[in-house]
Each structure stands twice: as structure tokens, then as C-alpha cells.
Amino acid sequence: MFIVYLKTDDLKSLKQSKEVSPTMLEMYDWQRNQDVIVTWDIKMQSDYEVRYTHIIETEKYGNIGLKSQTIPLSSYAWAVEIKGTIVDVIDDELIVLNVFAVDIIQADTQQLTGEEVSDRGVYNTVAWLYLSSTMFANYRLIQSSAWAITLQNIQTQENIEIKYFVCENNDSDSDCSKLVNLFEQTAEKQFTTVDDITYYKQLEVNSRFMTNDNILWYFINDANETDVTNISRYLVVPNEKSLGTYLKPYIQDICQNSTYNMQTQENVKLSYENAKFIVRVDWLTNDETSAECLINIDFTNAKGGVLAQFNVLNELDQENTEEVTEESQEAVEDNLQANTADIKFTYDPNVEQFAIEAQKPFIFTSNRGHTISFPTQNIAFAQVELQEDVALSDMGCYAQQNVVSYPNKEQLEINPSVQIFECRQSGSDIVLGQQYIRIDLTDKVFFIKLLDSAWIDFANNISIATIE
């Protein structure tokens, strides 16, 4: 397979015509039924025979037609990386791809606030807004201060300020339930997002107003309708609906306790305490003990939040009330790692190996200045929450990626086959066993950790390089 990345900074004009020789496919060293990767903005456009439904317009490769029975191409209105199979060439002028995967490209991952956008976006704890990673193809976060954040439209350079205050039932100016009733009756326009957040617009005012279950009141100052509509798709505010999407499916895992087995989840309540959002979960354990689990919300976390505190409610012995310190949380994570990975790993190069195709690599380009080339495309990988690795404790590791075979993508976070740790360069002469492969770059070091002997060939054929 031949992989092609089209980048806006190196495009050159190339006029396409029927007189071009060799043929279009020969010119680019492509062939029918070949998988390729291209990068550009998707636009809706089809021909009268419906041989494609969308196109990407490039100067270097001309127009490329797109179609797909599995990917909703109309959902993407920003720069994306498109993976597809060449299925047609129309009049030797337009190549048609059958798209099987679309990945969003983040146009500006380092925001002016200094916050780096992870693969899961940014959870801004000033305004308690989760900014999904898709937003950063079109907007950047340029300011974050008390009671306000400012976004900027990358193309128009227009700023959009979002302010908020805490709802107070006894204050006529900040009683959000009364404000909602007022706006329901007087708003010129309103719309509700998939997370049940309603945006209100008053007559002769270009600002929008919204609230999350009458906990906080937000207002977007003097922004045009297009920006407000776009941003509403990217912003997630903690409320009952968003908890159901991002956190509730993982509450059982988050509230795990070594002493008590959580059996019945009786109540889940979102509250705003000490200037931050907390989810309180009431449990009944397997021995009829009542317990309370407190969760700090963080939608950039794969589980939507992290354990803050675990309290036993119906026992007088106060020693049973356990606050989860940083040390105890790390101990739990270490035990989980040991149980799920290190204990069952035995280095055995004689086992049947996971199939690789070195001539068909999958290349990942990181916004942190490096590329990772995997020796097959039949994988799923993602950056996950960093787990401490005892063997690498002195290496200053700050990022972790997990890798599994694509059919096992549901196991990516809980049962990876390979882990890749990105660490700060260290002068220490660390000695590791066969489970680890070390790759040094000029400003950082990577450790590839094997968790399955069937992936030895795969791990040995991973290459990582600095982007020049």
C-alpha cells in the first residue's frame, strides 16, 4: 500500500487534462483497489451518475471524488485525514475513493493559553466547559481568566467571549430558574443541543444565553450566529445529559474499592461544591453497607472523571471513611496494571506473531513534533491516561499510547498489546529487560512496552522520528 499525505504548505499547481501522459494513476504511482490516505476539506458534490457524493479539491492531485456506505461524509466540515480505496477513475481526470475511515485533523493544538489539546480535547476548569477535539480545527482557545474564556475563529480571527456566573436562588439577578422562564417567553430565537443545553437569543442583541441545570449561567457576548451554532456543537457543559454520555457508563469502574464491592447504584447527583463540579454517587454494597463515591468530572479522561473520595455512610467507625490520596490512587492503579499486564507477560519469540505488513505502514503524526510508523494498518491506537510504570519511574514520562489489533479496539484501554511511553530525555543509564524497546530522539525518549509476546515482531518494527 502506498500512503500519501497532502499538506497545505507544500501543494504545487498541477493542471489535470486528458492529454496528460502517463495516466493519472501512473503519475502518482497508484492503482485500482489500492488504499491511500489524503488530507483536505470535504465538500458535498456529486455527479449525475452518483459515482461519488463528495469531493476534495486539491491543486496537486486535482479533484478526488469520495463516497462511502459507512462514513457520514456530510458530518465533516473541516480538515480531515481520509482513508479510502481507489475504486474508479472518471475520464482519467478524477479519482474516486471508497472511504472507510475519516480522522479529524487539529489545526492548532497548542493554544495561546498554554493548554495542549489532547486526542480527547480540553476540559477548561475556569468555565467548566469541555471543548471537544473537533473544535480545534476551526477555533483556538486564546484566553482563560476568572469567569470568562475567549475563543478565536482561526479563519476570520474574530474573538468569541464566553462568560458565566453561579446561579443563586435567593438573588433576583442570578436566579437561573427565573431567568429561564423569562427567556422562554421573550427570546427571539432558541435552539437545544444534543446535550439538552438551550441557547437563547434576545431581540436586537447578538449575545446568546444558556444554563446547565440551573447551576451555572453562561452568556456568549456579541457573536455572529454562525460561530454560535458551530461552537454549540463543540462545547459540552456538565449536566445530567452529558453525564449520561461521558461518565455514567464508567461509574462502576471509577468507584471500585478494595474493601467494599459496589452492588447497587442508588443515586447519581451532579453538584457544584467549592467552586468545582462533583458527582455524588450513592451505593449499596454486597453486604448492605451504604457508601458514597465522589467523582471529579474530567471529560478528557477516558472514563469521564476520576475518584476523589470514598465514604462509608452507615458505620460509626470513622476510620472506614477513606479519602483517596494521590498515593493510594497510584497504588490502586499499580495493582490494576500488575493484575492486567505485567504478571501474565512472558517473553516468548516462538509464539505465533501478529501479522505485520512493513510495506503498508500506518504513519501517525503527532502535534508534539514526531511521527510514529506502525508496521501494519490493522491496529487501533490512542493516547490514554498515563499509568505509572515502575520500571520507568525515573524517566519523566508524560504521555502514553496503547495499541491493539483493530478487531479488538474495545480492549484498547483495559487490555493493550503494546504500550508506548513518551518521556523526557534522561542521562540515567536505565537497564530494562526484553519487555522494553528504547528509541532515543534529540529531545525525548520513547519506550515501547510489550504486553503480549505475539507482538514482538510488531514492536521491533515500530519506528519513531523527529519531524524536520
Maximum CA pair distance of the chain? 88
Q: Which of 202, 236, 270 is the last residue of a domain?
A: 236
Asked if pLDDT for residue 293 goes beyond 80, the answer is yes
* Same domain flag for 201 and 254: no
* Same domain flag for 226 and 255: no
Instruction: Give residue 319's identity as a one-letter amino acid code.
Output: E
Asked if pLDDT for residue 403 goes beyond 50, the answer is yes
Asked if pLDDT for residue 342 goes beyond 60, the answer is no
* Same domain flag for 159 and 231: yes
**CATH at residue 174:** 3.40.1000
* Same domain flag for 202 and 260: no
Asked if pLDDT for residue 67 goes beyond 90, the answer is no
- CA–CA gap between residue 297 and residue 348 (Å, rounded): 41
* Same domain flag for 403 and 435: yes
* Same domain flag for 401 and 443: yes
**CATH at residue 54:** 2.40.50.500
Whether residue 1 lies inside any domain: the answer is no
In DSSP notation, 107-151 reads S--B-TTSPBPBTTBEEETTTTEEE-GGGGGTEEEEEEETTEEEE
Report the sign of the C-alpha dihedral through residues 7, 8, 13, 19, in that order.
Answer: positive
Domain carrying residue 128: 122-236
- Which one is predicted more confidently, 408 or 13? 408
Return the percentage of the chain with pLDDT > 90, whole number.
8
Q: Which of 183, 201, 236 is the last residue of a domain?
A: 236
* Same domain flag for 264 and 221: no
Q: Which of 303, 324, 345 is the last residue of a domain?
A: 324
* Same domain flag for 126 and 229: yes
Asked if pLDDT for residue 316 goes beyond 80, the answer is no
The pLDDT mean for the chain works out to 76
Whether residue 31 lies inside any domain: the answer is yes
- In angstroms, the Cα distances linking 34 to 52, 96, 97, 424 are 17, 11, 9, 39
* Same domain flag for 272 and 212: no
> Region 300-324: what's the mean pLDDT?
65
- CA–CA gap between residue 151 and residue 162 (Å, rounded): 8
pTM (two decimals)? 0.44
Assign 171 a pLDDT band (cuts: 50, 70, 90): confident
Q: What is the structure's pLDDT at 44?
A: 56
Grid coordinates belonging to 440: 532515543
Domain count, the chain: 4
* Same domain flag for 316 and 396: no
Asked if pLDDT for residue 201 goes beyond 70, the answer is yes
Q: What is the structure's pLDDT at 398?
A: 82
* Same domain flag for 31 and 76: yes
